[in-house]
Every structure is written in C-alpha cells, then in structure tokens.
Amino acid sequence: MSLNTALLSVAGHPVENGRCLSRGVISVALVIAMALAASTWAFADQRGDEIAREADRRDAGWNDMIAELEMVLRNRQGEESTRALRSRLLEVDADGDKLMIIFDRPRDVRGTAFLTYTHRSGPDDQWLFLPALKRVKRISSNNKSGPFMGSEFAYEDLASQEIEKYTYEYRRDEILDGRPTFVVERVPVDSSSGYTKHVAWYDQEEYRLAKIEFYDRKDELLKTLIYRSYQQYLEQYWRPDEMYMENHQTGKSTVLRWSEYEFQTGLTARDFDQNSLRRVR
C-alpha cells in the first residue's frame, strides 16, 4: 500500500469531531511510520545493490589482465606449503569474465590448467587440461565450495565475482583500520555455494573490498578474508598485492600474493579457447 493511497483513504473520512480527528491523526501517523519503515528497508536493499554496482562500475573497462600468484598454506602447527599459479582474465561484453589458471607448483601438477567461462546467470562452463594425457576434459562447475589446491580459498572465492551472483543488503557504515567503509551483506544466488552469506566491507572512497567474513551452511563464522596493499593500475584499477584468508574453525590460513599484474596486453577470446588451453606452459 503506497503512501499516497494510505493518505487518501484517511483523508476520505469526514472529519466529525475532535475524537475522530485524533483517531485520524493516529492512523495517519501510523501509516506514515509504516511507510517510512518499509521504504527504509527498501532503501537499505537498494543501497546494498548500489554499492555493489558502483564497485563493479569503477572496475570495468580493463579488458584483459594477467598476473602471477603465490599461495602459502599454513596449518595449525605453522607448517607451510607453497603453490604457484598464473592467471589470465578477459572481460566479456554482457556476460561474466573468462578465466584461465595455469598451475606451476607443486611440480607434480605443473602444466595443468583450468578454463572457466563465467556466466551471469546459470552455471559456468569449465574445462580442465591434463598434460600427462594431453586431454581437455569438460567438468561440472557445481563443485565450487571445495578447497582450491588444498588451501583455505574455495573455488567460488577465486571465481570472477559477477554482481548477479549475489543479492545485497546494506547494513551500516563502519570505520575499519581508520577508513570509513560500507558494510554490505551478500547472499549467494547459487544453492551449491558453501556459504549462507558473506559480510563485506567496501571502503567508501574507492569502493574497494577491504574485508569479507564468510558464514558456513550452519550460519556460523567460518573464514575472514583481508585484502592488503592495494596498488592502482592504469590510473583507475585497484588490485591488492595480498589476500589473507583465515579459517576460524580449523586454525589454518592461506596467504595469496599477487604480482606481475599486466593489463590490456591484447588478449582476446581466442586466448581463452580449448586450443589455447592445450598450449599452456
């Protein structure tokens, strides 16, 4: 019931005497209060959406990107294990990014590569290249909640974060590490996600993600991801040098270090087809 309709129906009653008037005033006040509450709720919902869209808008137009990654896995006893990978990304018009990941270390998986075509709606298309057999195998993209290379990052944490993959709800403003941020709750649209929700902190000045808390299927806090050392590229795009993921339930953590970022090197869809997947080194 819109505010206008509410006011009209109250106004339609003839004003009889003082008692009717006070009842009328209470009714109007009640309706106005309800309407305001309803629109605040809608406002918060829209606000969350707006923040996500603004963050996405500020990061659009980089076209293609390559980077090197190093992952250091650490268990509760402090023992470490290292992974090295390379990634290539391509922005696609009106759809999700294309992503290729090539494994360099550990050496027994060297040369294995993943190719993903992310889609805004529906499942992603995914292929795996197995170098020993020279085989390209198409796999299901359903299994996204499992650990990536034994780390604390799940496949869905590293996948291209299209805005259509979540619904958003603005929660509040907060000062985080001396910076004003927006706190937005994100709920994954895909039921095969391992999370009931994320709580995400976007800094207000540049709309960069500063921190994400992940809540598991029992709605308990599972992991926290912290983004560190943002650098700006091409005078527009912010990329973190480091991402630190801590699992509060197991005490394990993973540090993901990005380096050698290069943008607009001229990659095209052709660099993300199965023929290119077979050629990776």
The residue ranges that bind other proteins (CB under 8 A) are: 73, 75, 81-82, 105-110, 123, 125, 133-135, 137-140, 142-147, 149-150, 154, 192, 194, 216-217, 268, 270, 273-276, 279, 281
Output 148 or 168, the one with its CB closest to other proteins: 148
Output 57 or 217, the one with its CB closest to other proteins: 217
Output 65 or 149, the one with its CB closest to other proteins: 149
Q: Closest approach of Cβ 194 to other proteins, in Å? A: 6
3-state helix, strand, coil in the chain (%, to 5): 25, 40, 35
Whole-angstrom distance, CA of residue 56 vs CA of residue 52: 6
Q: Closest approach of Cβ 143 to other proteins, in Å? A: 3
One-letter amino acid for residue 1 of the chain: M
Output 64 or 169, the one with its CB closest to other proteins: 64
Q: Closest approach of Cβ 221 to other proteins, in Å? A: 14
**Bond from prior residue into 106 cis (ω within 30 degrees of 0):** yes
Q: Closest approach of Cβ 122 to other proteins, in Å? A: 9
Q: Closest approach of Cβ 207 to other proteins, in Å? A: 31
| CB proximity list for 79: less than 8 A, separation 6 or greater | none
Tell me whether strands 113-117 and 98-105 are parallel, antiparallel or unpaired.
Answer: antiparallel
User: Nearest CA to 101 among 140, 127, 139?
Assistant: 127
33 membership: H or E segment, kind and range? helix 18-58
Whole-angstrom distance, CA of residue 114 vs CA of residue 102: 7
Output 19 or 134, the one with its CB closest to other proteins: 134
